[in-house]
Structure 1
Amino acid sequence: MAEPLRLIPAAADAARELPHNIEAEAALLGALMIDNRLVGDVQMLLRPDHFFEDIHGRVFTAILNMADKNMVANPVTLRPMFDADEAMKELGGAGYLAKLTGSGAALIGAKDFARQIYDLALLRELVCVGRDMVQGALDTSEAIDPKGQIEAAEMSLYKVAESGGETGGTKTFKQATQLAMEMAEKAQNSGGALSGITTGLESLNARTGGLHKSDLVILAGRPGMGKTALATNIAFNTARRWVREEEEGVEDKKRAGARVAFFSLEMSADQLATRILSEQAGISSENLRMGKITTSEFRNLARAASDLQSLPLFIDDTPALTIAALRTRARRLKRQHKIGFIVVDYLQLLQGSGNGRDGNRVQEISEISRGLKTLAKELDLPVVALSQLSRAVEQREDKKPQLSDLRESGSIEQDADIVLFVYREEYYVAAQEPRDPDDPKMEEWRAHMERVFGLAEVVIAKQRHGATGKVKLRFEANITRFSDLAEEGYYADNH
């Protein structure tokens, strides 16, 4: 009869408190050493730190390293790695490896053992999170911050739910290189322009490569420029692309579409839905709101509404959200609906964690922009945050926005990976129309208006991944739709 497995002292002390199954760990390692082909079945689920017994985690790492080199991993080949291991000596020396392979029956249940080891690791993480919550709530020696503790607890629970208790974001250069190669392959397969999530605008994709994971994108402009319209267009295009790729069976890592969460602090959910329906049905949103539509237009509207019912676009129109509350809701949406893209409309309507009585709005905006960048990294998805520009734009003869026009701009510019400005010259030219139809300048004004009518520019003022410059687009104001301008191109800054 096989000798029962013995725990090293440190593990034995903890065993009385934390969920574990040493026998399952031993059986799995034995099965992996008997049949190395099983490594491929479990390495996507398990990490070394999922093992309760530390020495088991190190044996698992050694097996993975051998398999990665296409070398046989068994007690004989692994022995030199553990001859001097003190923890292994306490378990009887390297002969312990041979003892692990004593039962071939484990081969049948290897996947089940792996799943149980993973689940028990999650339970241990939950225990640790619970202990930290209790200790933090009982400790009143420092400033009491219940909301901060709730935010920290939510973040800890999210990490457990998403990654099985991953405690760090460290990656080897090999892992980082694999991610870079996957991104390059995705760009190549899409025709060389798209390595991230699509904006639905080919000319914009061509200059940014799409929207990249962990990026904070600031989309800014003065009122009337079409910030919300452009953000809504992009959100819709991304969600629609996800539906199409889902139907075509495209692999997740090769997709250019995503499920979208739209946090609308300014407009209600039905107002946003009206905009999208207007765009898709080709009906003026104003006529739609006032009921001035024909029977055929109503049929188009009903058809568009039916097509869009399955769109993975989730709208949260809660007003006056704090950055902490937004992050909590975003984590929940990621966990429940697997969202891959977030839009926030707009940044200045968010609130910081303070009570606002100190009146330091610049500091509050800094907290909000940092919070959005942290959220993008934590959830590993792009966040597009809309932002207002200061009135300084209106006081200049040249109305094109600059980075310095961002309200409370320092932290926003610093935290953003990409800053986009929406600019429509038509808006300003229309405001200069002479009041007198017989004014000599009327013809000049009409000619100018004709040149700029229906045109928009997206100015790329900052981009960590590439050049700055501008992209010209078509804008249909009556249905609030941006689209590519075939005859125009992209102009990059050369300085």
Structure 2
Amino acid sequence: MAGESHMDRVPPHNLEAEESVIGSMILSHRAAAEAQELLVAEDFYTDAHRKIYGTLVDLYAGGSTTDPVVLAEELKKRGTLESVGDRAYIYSLVGDTPNPGNVKHYATIVRDMAFKRKLIDVGYEVTSQGYSTASDVEEAFDKSESAIFAVGKRMRRERLTHINEPLKESFRRMEEARKRKTRITGVETGFKQLDNLTSGLQSSNLIVVGGRTAMGKTSFALNIAHHASVQREIGVLIFSMEMSKVDISERLLCTQARVSSTDYRIGRISDDRFVDIVDATGVLSNAPIFIDDTGDLTLTQMRSKSRQLMSKENIGLIIIDYIQLMHIPGFREGRTQEVSRIARDLKVLAMEMEVPVIAVSQLRRPSVGKKEPNLEDLRDSGGIEQNADVVVLIYRREVDEPRNLENKGIAEIHLAKHRNGETGKFKLAWIGENTQFRNLSTEEEFPG
């Protein structure tokens, strides 16, 4: 009816489908298992059905034989038999069930109705945020989007499957690992020693890459992005608050083509190298790399953009460059506390998106006589170290000792923190002309 308010409308539900699910569960263990794959108690519209379903789940979990008599007796013990109806109603659920073999169809109807009701609830929540004067627009938008994202996430959650499917996936991973001769379980960085220590960058982990100015911390993160996207076809989302999209693309292109960044910038390119650049452009154009170079991006906006992209693309890694350029609007508790809050929110971002997040961090200037960085050098806040699962520190002695030729082209990498494994130090080659780190070729000294 035109003009009818939402409050006057009956929420979507299907009582017959709910009754058929419960009746099927009483009649068949197999039907009960299939129903539990799709439903939770909160998916049922009536409180009575929620209580009956929950009781059935508990009975099956305890290994009990289930029939109308056993169910009614258990409801009586719990003091809920009268509130859900009576024994006659329990028996009627069994008698009115068309076919327990169709339980998945009944359960799907119940689940879909539950999703629609949840969307209605979220709609009210979004409306409430719009009317609220307690929060600013950005905060209201983030809360609204989070609520919608949570519903969609449950809709897309994986269902139970026959063991045949996960076995195929497991075998595929084993074959890939066997070919690569690695034990990588996360996102491969391309740096052998780092991958051996971490088994790759793990989902929901916050990885902090720290270094002083000119040590190559951004290049290190971009090298990982390049390897993950080009070599392993993993989607990468890059948030850059310092470099433009064009500059990042240029760095990635020079890495792929292995040409000098300076030569590329001034157009000093031979015909042969030009062909290499064209080929590299084709490779990168097809790589799943997404870049946002909004300079004053807030964490709220970052979460929002991550959610939106991940709803459309298969993103497996997020990179943020860099922590010290981030700010929280209206934060008045001091910079140290602000950076701690940012670090915590980045960890929450990794957990919410269920992908590894690399956050580049500036290190404070060393004290007199001190050169090699350590965890204490994480600038502005100990909160960065506390919230990070992994901390990688980069040091190139040639920056401090330019006349010492022994250090030229060598980077020292310190895995200073690894929450779930061992730490360690190793070295990489540094190719300054195209801002690229590479594994050293001496396998005996640096086994991979």
Q: Give the TM interval when normalised to the shorter protein.
A: 0.7 to 0.9
State how far apart, in whole Å, the 2-side matches of 1:120 and 1:219 are.
46
Counterpart Cα distance in 1 of 2:263 and 2:67: 74
- The answer for the alignment partner of 2:146 in structure 1 is 155
Q: Pick which of 329-338 and 223-232 moved more.
A: 329-338
Q: Structure 1's 458 and 62: CA in aligned 2 closer, same or farther, altered over 3 A?
A: farther
Query: Contact between 1:228 and 1:345, CA under 8 Å: does it hold in 2?
Result: yes
| Cα displacement (A) at 1:207 | 1.1
- Tell me the residue number matched to 1:480: 435
- State the distance in 2 between where 1:279 and 1:336 align: 28
Shift in Å, 1:217: 1.3
Instruction: Name the SS of the counterpart of 1:263 in structure 2.
Output: strand
CA 1:484–1:103 in 2, change beyond 3 Å: closer, same or farther? farther
The amino acid across from 1:218 in the alignment is V
Matches within 5 A, 1:433-472: 433=403, 445=404, 449=405, 451-472=406-427
Deviation (angstroms), 1:345: 0.7
**1:473 aligned counterpart, secondary structure:** strand
Rounded to whole Å, the distance in 2 between the matches of 1:427 and 1:481 is 16
| Uncovered stretches (5+) of structure 1, i.e. residues with no partner | 1-13, 167-181, 244-257, 434-444, 491-495
Aligned match for 1:271, one of 234, 239, 247: 247
Residues 207 and 388 in structure 2, CA contact (< 8 A), matched pair in contact too: yes
* Secondary structure of residue in 2 paired with 1:218: strand
Partner SS state of residue 459, structure 1: strand
Aligned to 2:223: 233
Q: Distance in 2 between matches of 1:353 and 1:139?
A: 19
Map of 2:164 onto structure 1: none
Give the secondary structure class of the aligned counterpart of 2:311.
helix
Amino acid in the other structure paired with 1:332: Q
Kindly state the Cα deviation for residue 262 of structure 1 after the two structures are TM-superposed: 0.9
Q: Is the 8 A contact 1:55 1:88 kept in 2?
A: no
Q: 8 Å contact 2:239–2:293 — kept in the other structure?
A: yes
Q: Look up the SS of the partner of 1:101 in the other structure.
A: helix
The CA deviation at 1:360 is 2.8
CA contact (8 A) 1:347 1:385 kept: yes
State the number of aligned residues.
Answer: 424
TM-score, length-normalised on structure 1? 0.76
* Structure 2 length-normalised TM: 0.83
Range that drifts further, 43-52 or 189-198: 189-198
For 1:349, which of 312, 315, 325 is the aligned residue?
A: 325
Give 3-state SS (helix, strand or coil) of 1:213's partner: coil
Report which stretch shifted further, 380-389 or 331-340: 331-340
Alignment of 1:309-348 (within 5 A): 309-348=285-324
Match of 1:388 among 359, 362, 384: 362
Structure 2: any 5+ residue segments left out of the alignment? Answer: 1-6, 158-168
**2:287 match: secondary structure:** coil
Deviates more, 1:61-70 or 1:206-215: 61-70
| SS state at 1:211 partner | coil
Which residue of 2 is the match for residue 118 of structure 1? 111
Identity %: 34
Residue 276 of structure 1 and its aligned partner are, at CA, apart by: 1.8
| Alignment partner, residue 446 of structure 2 | 489
Where does residue 285 of structure 1 map in the other structure? Answer: 261
Give 1:386 deviation, angstroms.
0.4
Shift in Å at residue 344 of structure 1?
Answer: 0.3
Q: CA deviation at 1:108?
A: 6.2
Q: 1:441 corresponds to which residue?
A: none
Q: How does 1:156-305 map to 2 (within 5 A)?
A: 156-164=147-155, 190=177, 193-243=183-233, 258-305=234-281
Aligned-residue offset at 1:193: 3.5
Task: Tell me by how many angstroms 1:343 deviates.
Answer: 0.6
Amino acid at match of 1:195: T
Q: CA deviation at 1:372?
A: 0.9
Matched-pair contact (CA < 8 Å) for 2:49–2:84: no
TM-superposed CA distance for 1:429, in Å, is: 2.2
Residue 144 and residue 104 in structure 1: after superposition, are their counterparts in 2 closer, same or farther (change >3 A)? closer
- CA deviations 1:367-421 (Å, max 9, x no partner) are 2212111111222222111011112x2x433311122221112221222122111
The range that moved more, 260-269 or 293-302, is: 293-302
Post-superposition shift, 1:164? 4.6
Match of 1:421 in 2: 393
Question: Within 2, Cα distance between the matches of 1:237 and 1:291?
Answer: 26
Q: Quick one: which of 39, 43, 58 aligns to 1:46? A: 39
**Distance between the aligned counterparts of 1:72 and 1:359, measured in 2?**
60
Q: Specify whether residues 90 and 227 from structure 1 end up closer, same or farther in structure 2 by C-alpha distance, changes over 3 A only.
A: same
More deviation, 106-115/18-27: 106-115
- Equivalent residue letter for 1:161: G
For 1:192 and 1:72, how far apart are their aligned partners in 2? 48
**What are the Cα deviations for residues 48-88 of structure 1, in whole angstroms up to 9, with x where unaligned?**
22222334344444555666678765545645433334443
In the alignment, the residues of structure 2 paired with residue 69 and residue 476 of structure 1 have an alpha-carbon distance, to the nearest angstrom, of 63
1:252-272 C-alpha deviation (Å, 9 max, x unpaired): xxxxxx422111111122222
Q: Give 1:171's aligned residue.
A: none
| Partners of 1:205 and 1:187 in 2: CA distance | 16
SS in 2 for 1:409: coil
The counterpart of 2:137, out of the listed 143, 146, 161, is: 146
Preserved CA contact (<8 Å) 2:411 2:428:
yes
Q: 1:93 to 1:240 in 2, by over 3 A?
A: farther
